[in-house]
Structure 1
Amino acid sequence: MSQSRQDFEARLRQIGAERYHDKHPFHHRLHGGQCTPDEVRAWVINRYYYQHSIPIKDAAFMSRVEDPDLRRIWRSRIEDHDGTEQNEGGIRRWLRLADAVGLDRDYVAARRGVLPATRFAVDAYVRYVRDKTLLEAVAASLTELFAPKIHANRIEGLLAHYDFADDSALSYFRNRLNEAPKDVAFGLGWVLDHADTQEKQDMAAAALTFKTDVLWAQLDALWGAYVEQRIPPGAWQPGEGLARGRAA
């Protein structure tokens, strides 16, 4: 027997409470001001690969949607990241953060130096959304339920502890505070409407769990490579990809 709408939403929220990547020690280190400049740069480089892939994931999703109303609503996610004539877009805002931490934005945009585990995790997410049911694809996006809190904490922590942090550098996070709630409201409502059997609710919960694993794996990779100094071959090495005139 399926859970009530209220109980199923509580189940989804509990997944975030237990598994969202705001609990990862790398984020505590970053927001608390303990990251070295190179650790911050490594985070910016690797997180860009995720940012770059989000509109690709959403385009893959839309290519399978036959309902024009769902496509119309979903395409705003691509515009939020890729930008429009009126909206700079999240990808360009992330490159402003790259500028602020002393990286060459062309190096970052070319997705050079990305950790193998980052590529594997993010590419797995794109494939998941491309290949799984629409319900699972939408449910996997529901980590957005938990994102506003981490964005607010990140803004506060970076402003308090890092010289590079200012309104321009942190514009990506400030904009997501406004953009994410509309995506959350629609995505959550859609999942609650369509997960109308026990089997579908289990599928949606598993999809959200998978997405938390994707986010957690990226931070595990960063921690191992740049906090514990086990940088794999081909990954970014401190001193590479810096903007002209910036010292390592």
Structure 2
Amino acid sequence: MTTTVPLAETHAPPPSVQEQPPWSAEELEERLRTLATANYHDHHPFNQRMHRGDLSRDEMRTWVANRFYYQCNIPIKDAFILAKLGTLAHRRSWIRRIQDHDGASDTSSGASPSDSGIERWLRLGEAVGLARHELSDHRRLLPGVRLAVDSYVTFCRDRSTLEAVASSLTELCAPSIMLTRLETFPVHYPWIAAEGLSYFRGRVPQGRRDGSEALTWVKEWAVTRDRQELALAALSFKCDVLWSLLDSVQNAGTLRYRPRATLRGTP
């Protein structure tokens, strides 16, 4: 015998799902810090080999050259975030990040172009034996690194302000990995000139400042469970970006590189 289901029942909406109560600001912070610590790329086998002193010179150069593409795109993603910020105070604060990497023409307001993050990374490249033009034209760039970095820029362009800012919370872990490199590079890689390590020194105070600031904003903005979970998902995504970048570098092997003159930001 066939049972006929009334039409109204076939289109009845599912029972409403009761919204979960939000975590306290303290619990949200603990969850964000735990996620970042557990998933940060200092656990990646390539970084662990680096810090043990196991990288060859060519492996170090491959990492420096590919990470430079990420460095070049940091101020671009920060410009997208800057455009989303709705208050003067937030914009004034966030613009420092762009100046940290690109430099500032007004040297009284931040890093000068001669002492910017990108300039310091170019000096690291020279210290490991790479000419500036080898970095600037991205001739050693691996496809997987380009995809990972571009996906991060797109994320910051297209997602909400909360998600874009939360994705930057890997800064909470950055000072630790920079200090590790300052400790281990002189011991394991004495062939790298000391002046090439200035990028790592500069990022210790910047990372502490930027991580603390972004965390304060995320806790202020993420006041419902769904927004808190968006923040956690954004941070998880950023950890995946950094991990994927190293996956590509680790698997580079003996690949031959070709110039990529059409990449964004190249002359």
Partner of 1:153: 180
**1:13-92 alignment to 2 at 5 Å?**
13-85=33-105, 86=107, 87=111, 88-92=115-119
Which residue identity lines up with residue 74 of structure 2 in the other structure? I
Give the C-alpha shift of residue 18 in structure 1.
1.5
1:246 maps to: none
Deviations 1:115-167 (A, max 9, x none): 00000000000000000000000000000001111000011111111123343
CA–CA separation in structure 2 for the residues paired with 1:167 and 1:108: 19
Which residue of 2 is the match for residue 179 of structure 1?
A: 206
Alignment of 1:1-248 (within 5 A): 1-85=21-105, 86=107, 87=111, 88-226=115-253, 229=254, 231=255, 234=258
**How much does 1:213 deviate?**
0.0
Partner in structure 2 of residue 239 of structure 1: none
Separation (CA, whole Å) in 2 of partners of 1:37 and 1:44: 11
Greater Rg by CA: 2
Rounded Cα–Cα distance in structure 2 between residues aligned with 1:121 and 1:211: 10
- Cα 1:235–1:162 change in 2 (3 A) is farther
Per the TM alignment, residue 235 of structure 1 is displaced from its structure 2 partner at its CA by 8.2
TM-score, normalised with respect to structure 1: 0.90
Query: 2: CA distance between counterparts of 1:69 and 1:207?
Result: 23
| Aligned-partner residue type, residue 248 of structure 2 | A
Query: What is the TM-score normalised by the length of structure 2?
Result: 0.84
Distance in 2 of aligned mates of 1:37 and 1:235? 21
Measured in 2, the distance between the counterparts of 1:92 and 1:233 equals 23
In 2, the alpha carbon distance for the partners of 1:164 and 1:200 equals 48
C-alpha distance in 2 between matches for 1:43 and 1:133: 31
- TM-superposed CA distance for 1:66, in Å, is 2.8
* Equivalent residue letter for 1:139: A
**Runs of at least 5 residues in structure 1 that lack an aligned partner in the other structure:** 237-248
- 1:232 deviates by 7.2
| Conserved 8 A contact 2:141-2:257 | no
Q: Do the aligned residues in 2 keep the contact of 1:116 with 1:235 (CA within 8 Å)?
A: no
How far is 1:65 from its partner? 2.4
Give me the whole-angstrom Cα distance separating, in 1, the residues matched to 2:84 and 2:29: 26
Aligned CA-pair RMSD: 1.5
- Cα distance, 1:64 vs structure 2: 2.5
- Identity, % of aligned positions: 45
State the 1:83 CA deviation: 1.2
Determine if contact 1:225/1:232 at 8 Å carries over to the other structure.
Answer: no
Cα shift at 1:180 = 1.3
How many residues get paired? 233
